[in-house]
């Protein structure tokens, strides 16, 4: 008996539509985030992360409705990230049915925001997302603006600080690896997982199922997040879990 390592499909959503495309064989509207979330729920995903990349204010209302629609049909945890800048943004998403929110650049801009958020809503619903790049051997730096802007902040030190400020979980994305399909950056995943007491979700770079296993076994991640391998039907969530179980990883089947 042990806690299962979680598998988390991630949806990038813009103006109420899943972008990057999702290709399930028997799904009518592949761009509808509610349909996609329901499918992952049926497949046995352990959580769903919904990353809102909508730029406009009007579009944000659409996002709230989408979150409401998902939450009324999907009975597994739902994390919403993207554009979370104020306590009101968090309240709006939680009221819409999100279980957790993911805070990224707003934390870099003003770290106290994480503290205020955790005090107001509880650490259990505050995820801090960290986007980093490797800058030298065993050294990773936080980048913002889609990886274009270096911040000079050390990723491991930042993770420790965010956990101290009340983050209940760390969502770690290696921007070197993101989309390259060469696997997670296991070095930074391991370094952060060893340094903090809270769970770490590894993200960025999954190209095959062994990468998920490596993230857990070598990176010591508590959960693995992936988008494209699931979206394009290369692997289903049950296939991923079966493979991980064969490799000795505790999963929920």
Partner 1 sequence: MSTIAVIDYGMGNLHSVASALEHVCDSKIVITSDVAEIEAADRVVFPGVGAIRDCMAEIRRLGMDRVVQKAIAEKPVLAICVGMQALMAHSEENGGVDCINLLPGNVRFFGEGLTDATGEKLKVPHMGWNQVKQIDHPLWQGIEDNSRFYFVHSFYVKSDEPSLVRATCEYGLSFDVALAKENLFAVQFHPEKSHTAGLQLLKNFANWDGKA
Among 75, 88, 137, 148, binds partner 1 (CB under 8 A): 75
Q: State the Cα–Cα distance between residues 142 and 15, nearest whole angstrom.
A: 27
Q: 59: which 2 tokens?
A: 């579009």
How far CA 31 is from CA of 20, 23, 75, 176, in Å, comes to 9, 9, 21, 27
Strand segments (E) across 112-238: 126-136, 139-144, 149-154, 169-174, 200-203, 223-226
**Dihedral over Cα of 22, 23, 25, 31: its sign:** positive
Catalytic (active site) residue 214: no
248 binds partner 1 (CB under 8 A): no
Name which of 2 and 25 has its Cβ closer to partner 1. 2
Phi, psi of 46 (to 5 degrees): -85, -25
Q: How far is the CB of 216 from partner 1 (least distance, A)?
A: 12
Under rule CB under 8 A, residue 160 binds partner 1: no
Near partner 1 in 117-146, by CB under 8 A: 121-125
- By the rule CB under 8 A, 147 interacts with partner 1: no
169 counts as binding partner 1 under rule CB under 8 A: yes
Distance CA 178, CA 98 (A): 25
Q: What's the min distance (Å) between Cβ of 96 and partner 1? A: 7
**Residue 159 burial by Cβ neighbours in a 10 Å radius (0-12, 13-18, 19+):** buried
Q: 61, 72, 138, 146: which one contacts partner 1 (CB under 8 A)?
A: 72
Q: Is 131 considered catalytic here?
A: yes
Q: Identify which range of 65-73, 108-116, 134-142, 173-181 contacts partner 1 by CB under 8 A.
A: 65-73
Catalytic residue among 52, 89, 131, 222: 131
Residue 116 binds to partner 1 (criterion: CB under 8 A)? no
Query: Would you tell me how many other CB atoms lie within 10 Å of the CB of residue 136?
Result: 7
Q: Which residues bind partner 1 (CB under 8 A)?
A: 1-6, 41, 44, 46, 68, 71-73, 75-77, 94-99, 121-125, 168-169, 194, 197-200, 222-223, 252
- The set of catalytic residues is 12, 131
């Amino acid at each position: 008996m042990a806690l299962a390592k979680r598998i988390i499909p991630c949806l990038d959503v813009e103006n109420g539509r899943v972008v990057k495309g999702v290709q399930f064989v028997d799904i009518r509207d592949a761009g509808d985030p509610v349909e996609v979330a329901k499918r992952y729920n049926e497949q046995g995903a352990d959580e769903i992360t919904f990353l809102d990349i909508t730029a406009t204010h009007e579009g944000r209302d659409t996002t709230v409705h989408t979150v409401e629609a998902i939450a009324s049909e999907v009975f597994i945890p739902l994390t919403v990230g993207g554009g979370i800048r104020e306590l009101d943004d968090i309240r709006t998403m939680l009221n819409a049915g999100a279980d957790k929110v993911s805070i990224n650049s707003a934390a870099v801009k003003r770290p106290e925001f994480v503290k205020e958020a955790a005090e107001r809503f509880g650490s259990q619903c505050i995820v801090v997302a960290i986007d980093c790049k490797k800058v030298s051997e065993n050294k990773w730096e936080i980048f913002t603006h889609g990886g274009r802007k270096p911040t000079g902040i050390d990723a491991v030190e930042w993770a420790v600080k965010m956990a101290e400020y009340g983050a209940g979980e760390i969502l770690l994305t290696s921007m070197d690896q993101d989309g390259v399909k060469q696997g997670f950056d296991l070095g930074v995943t391991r370094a952060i997982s060893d340094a903090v007491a809270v769970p770490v979700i590894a993200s960025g770079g999954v190209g095959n199922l062994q990468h998920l296993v490596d993230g857990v076994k070598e990176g010591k991640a508590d959960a693995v997040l992936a988008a494209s391998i699931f979206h394009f039907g290369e692997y289903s969530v049950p296939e991923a879990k079966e493979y991980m179980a064969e490799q000795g990883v505790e999963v929920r089947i």
